[in-house]
Structures are given as C-alpha cells and as structure tokens.
Amino acid sequence: KVMESVLVGLNHRTAPIQIRERVSFSAESLPRALDELRRRFGAREAMILSTCNRVEVLGVGLTPDPDGAELKRFLSEFHGLEPDALNGHLYRYTGDELVRHVFRVASSLDSMVIGEAQILGQMKEAFRYSEEFGSAGSFLRRLMQHSLFVAKRVRNETQVGHSSVSVASVAVELAVKIFGSLRRRTVLLLGAGKMAELAARGLLKAGAEQLRVANRTRNRAEELAARFEAEVGDFLRLEKEVATADVVVCSTGASGYVIDPGMMERVVRARRFEPIFLIDITVPRNIDPAVNEIETVFLYDIDDLQHVADNNLQGRQEEADLAEGIVEEELRNFRLCSRTQELGPLIGSLRRRLEELCLAELEREGGHFSPEDRSTLERMLRRTAHRVAHPLISQMKETCRGSLPHVNPLEFLAEAFDLPEPERKPRK
C-alpha cells in the first residue's frame, strides 16, 4: 500500500496565500471532494488536509497513473482553476518520502510555527472526515495511528513544543511589537473558534485590558467572552465595532471578505485617522488586501507572520533536529511493520498449501482407517504442516525485517530447518 500511495499538496513555503486560498477546502465541500476522488479518479482510500498553511490530498490506488498527475488535475478542476495555475507550487511524495512527510506534519516540524499543537488536531479531523465518508482503509488507519505515536514521542522526548506556540500566538507577538504595550488598547476578535480562543489567551497574557469578541453566532461569542471576562460585540454592526478597536484579529472562517476598502475608508474617517492594525489569520482571507493601501491602516496576513515565526525557530532548531531523528527512527519501524503485514496473505497461503498436501495423502489412504483413527491422523497431519511452516514463516519475517537482507535460497532453508550449511564449491 505504501508504494501505491501518492500525496500532492502545497504549503506556506511553496505557495503564497493568494494561491493557497484558491485551493482550500471547506468542511461543506469535503464530502463531494472525497466522493470525486473515489468515483472519478479511482482512489481506494483518500484523505484531504486543508488548513491555513497547507492543502494536501493523499490517495491510495489511483488510476491510471500513480505519479500525482491525477491529484494535480483533481485540485485544479475541483476549484475551477486553469491546468497550469498550480505549476511550481505543488510537491509530490510517494513511498517512504510520503510517510516521512506525514510524520513531520503530524509532529509540527513542517509547520509555519515549529512546535505548534493545532496541526495534530487538524490531521485527526481530516482523518475523521475520511472515515465518516468511507474513504479510509487499512493503510490510512495504520499511517494515522503511527503518525499520532510519532507526534507523541516528539512532544514527550523533545522541547519542540515546550512553549505554547501557534499562528494566533505569533499574531499576538506582532501586535505587541507594533504597540510596545497593549495596555489601554482595545482589541477586537472577529470569530469565536479555536484560533480566536488562542488569540484571546495570548492577548490577555500580553496585558490587553479591553477585549471584545464578535461572531456571526452570538452565543458562541458570549461563551468565549465569558471565559476571558471580555465584552461581546455586535457582528451585525461590524463597521462600528472595527472603528472602536486599535487591533483587530480576524478569524471568522467566512468564505469571503468581511472587511473591505469601502468599510475601512469610513472607519478611518470615524477614527480621525488614528492608526489601526488588522491581523487576518484565516485562509481564505477575511480582509480584502486592498485595505492596506489606505493611509493609517496596517494589514498583516498569515504570510506576514512567517517572518516572526522564523525568528522564533532559531532557538528551537536543536530540539527540531532531535525530533527529526525520531521521525527517521519511526519511519524505519513503519517500513518494517508494513513489510511484515504484507507477508500476511503469503503466510496464510503457505500454511493452507502445506495442510492441503498433507491431507491429500490422507485422502488417498482414507478408506483404510476408522473414523476415530482418521480424525487422529488429520490432527497429526495439521500439526505437522504447521511445524514445517513455522520455521519458514519465522525466516521469512526476519528476512522481511531486514535482519537477513542477502540470504540465498540454500542458506534460507538451512537456517530455517537448522540444517548443515551447504558447501560452497569453488568456481572452475
């Protein structure tokens, strides 16, 4: 299954946000996307991971070609893009490289913010969707289970995730750098999801005293505001809410812009041209990038946060190197487990074939035995078949694990049945 698998994707390193937002998948679109991967492209198993910083499609058994061309075509056609729109932005992994990549993503070693904890939950959610819509099989289950184990090892055995970091925390750090202090500053959170919660936690820790939360669904805004003793804003009067804020952290998850240049021009006049900082941490973006052209409006999107994240990485590189070692170790373990599991059908066939040969001899002489004797002989022959098979199977497993990488057939049989080692006749 490893060799039949292919992953195609793009992330914050290979594509700017203008490209990433065009191929992101909403929760509502995933059932149709997974169905299309099975129905049109012949994938036996499929999973789609779509976050702020990456979109990846993993398929098993795609036809007619396994080199990723079909997945690239799927991404382009599903999102209504020209065939060459993604040229130069996509990466493709198969075999061991695919497994290594998935392990690194799960361990947040491929994240914009190394050590952030959100990606693992996002991967779990992507796999849950795959299972829910019938696209997860034995390979994806095994890959995800091992990925969770790798991420746990990295978390427990290194300091990569020692301090709580996330895209939201980087946004908070940027706000602090801009103002120097958040005291007496009004901060507006647009959105009440996980990213908004992380931002609220960081903003309060950084000294914010006036925090407001506005969300399309008011009760969710009220729940988040209650947890942090913040005020509840009115999303229906968004322009007024923005005008009273110094910092706006936007994470609504809307499919389009909720703040546009027209609104911000009116906001600037209402604020008498006092500077306002907007931080958009969503993909697709919720704030029209054109607002950055307006005087006294300073907009930062998720790609702008990359520079802050890169500075944070320098102090974590040594721990990240330790984590990479864990990934390589677990890649070898996964490979060995895969090889052993692939032996399953062959081992079953070997046992059945030896039993059939033994029992065939009993059938030839079956008329000479009483039912009681026949039953006893049948049990004996089955045990004999299993005893003959056992050393062969053990030797097959050792060879598959790589313990015996260069064994020729004669040496294999001699080792399996504890026979004298065959003589090597000198070549003439």
Active site residues: 52
> What stretches of 216-370 show up as alpha helix (H) in DSSP?
218-227, 238-243, 261-270, 305-313, 317-342, 344-364
Which distant-in-sequence residues (6+ apart) come within 8 Å of 154 by Cβ?
Answer: 107, 108, 109, 160, 161, 323, 326, 327
Number of Cβ within a 10 Å radius of residue 407: 16
Query: CB–CB of 47/121 below 8 Å?
Result: no
What is the Cα–Cα distance from 233 to 240, expressed in whole angstroms? 10
Which distant-in-sequence residues (6+ apart) come within 8 Å of 10 by Cβ?
Answer: 19, 20, 23, 54, 55, 56, 86, 89, 90, 91
Strands 210-214, 186-190: pairing is: parallel
Give the phi and the psi of residue 417 in degrees, each rounded to 5.
-110, 15
Handedness of CA 253, 255, 259, 263 (dihedral sign): negative
What is the Cα–Cα distance from 99 to 336, expressed in whole angstroms? 13
Strand partners, 189: 213, 249
What is the Cα–Cα distance from 8 to 6, expressed in whole angstroms? 7
What is the Cα–Cα distance from 388 to 394, expressed in whole angstroms? 11
Which 8-state DSSP code applies to residue 402? T
What is the Cα–Cα distance from 33 to 400, expressed in whole angstroms? 37
Strands 5-11, 210-214: pairing is: unpaired
Strands 247-250, 231-232: pairing is: unpaired
DSSP string, 320-337: HHHHHHHHHHHHHHHHHH
Token duo for residue 320: 């990240």
Q: How far is CA 414 from the centre of its chain?
A: 46
